[in-house]
């Protein structure tokens, strides 16, 4: 039986270049040599040839990034990080073409770090929707607390620093009154 360490390094590189971008971090955590390969510029070029170039984002990110769409016409990206206060930036595309992607800042807001008894620095956004007219975003995610406890939450964030945590657990069990349940 052949094990991966017995394979020629060029073949290992070829195999790893076909790993999806979302799986690179977990795969890289299994072997130091693989993790260093993922940082190599020639590997990045080969990976882009197979999967296409990476989405150009309008900022250097050192935080959490979540993508969404706006009315199936535009992309939106939420960028969150904690620097004493929790900062949220939301950007929307103004142009999407095969050779160009342009962004416009929707809003940026710095929020006080506490929402209920949890710190927003422990909040990890998973999805979001925006209201362009009201300049607000409904962000759903989880608080990652000690002992791997996860508390699901939704927060409403506004351009003026507005923040409200919402209890949306029962929203998806709603049935319109015009529907008869048998």
Asked, for residue 176, whether it belongs to a domain, the answer is no
33 and 73 fall within a common domain: no
80 and 43 fall within a common domain: no
pLDDT tens, residue by residue, 159-176? 887 888 887 765 544 445
pLDDT tens, residue by residue, 38-81? 878 888 777 777 776 667 777 776 677 888 888 777 888 888 77
Instruction: Supply the range of the domain harboring residue 10.
Output: 4-51
33 is written with which tokens?
Answer: 């040599």
pLDDT tens, residue by residue, 104-142? 998 888 766 555 445 555 777 888 888 888 888 888 888
User: Is pTM beyond 0.85 here?
Assistant: no
- Whole-angstrom distance, CA of residue 166 vs CA of residue 173: 16
28 and 85 fall within a common domain: no
88 and 122 fall within a common domain: yes
Residue 66, pLDDT score: 82
112 and 87 fall within a common domain: yes
46 and 128 fall within a common domain: no
Q: Which residue has the higher pLDDT, 33 or 20?
A: 33
Number of domains in the chain: 2
157 and 74 fall within a common domain: yes
Residue 117, pLDDT score: 45
């Amino acid at each position: 039986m052949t094990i991966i360490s017995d394979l020629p390094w060029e073949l290992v590189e070829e195999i790893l270049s076909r790993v999806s971008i979302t799986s690179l971090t977990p795969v890289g955590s299994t072997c130091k040599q693989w993790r260093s390969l993922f940082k190599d510029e020639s590997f990045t070029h080969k990976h882009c040839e197979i999967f296409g170039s990476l989405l150009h984002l309008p900022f250097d990110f050192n935080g959490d990034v979540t993508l969404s769409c706006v009315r199936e016409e535009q992309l939106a990206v939420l960028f969150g990080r904690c620097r004493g206060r929790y900062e949220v930036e939301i950007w929307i595309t103004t142009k999407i073409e095969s050779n160009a992607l342009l962004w416009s800042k929707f809003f940026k807001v710095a929020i006080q770090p506490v929402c209920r008894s949890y710190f927003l620095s422990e909040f990890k956004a998973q999805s979001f929707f925006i209201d362009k007219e009201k300049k607000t975003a409904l962000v759903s995610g989880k608080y990652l607390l000690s002992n791997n406890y996860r508390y699901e939450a939704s927060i409403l964030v506004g351009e003026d620093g507005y923040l409200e945590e919402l209890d949306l657990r029962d929203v998806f069990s709603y049935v319109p009154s015009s529907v008869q349940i048998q």
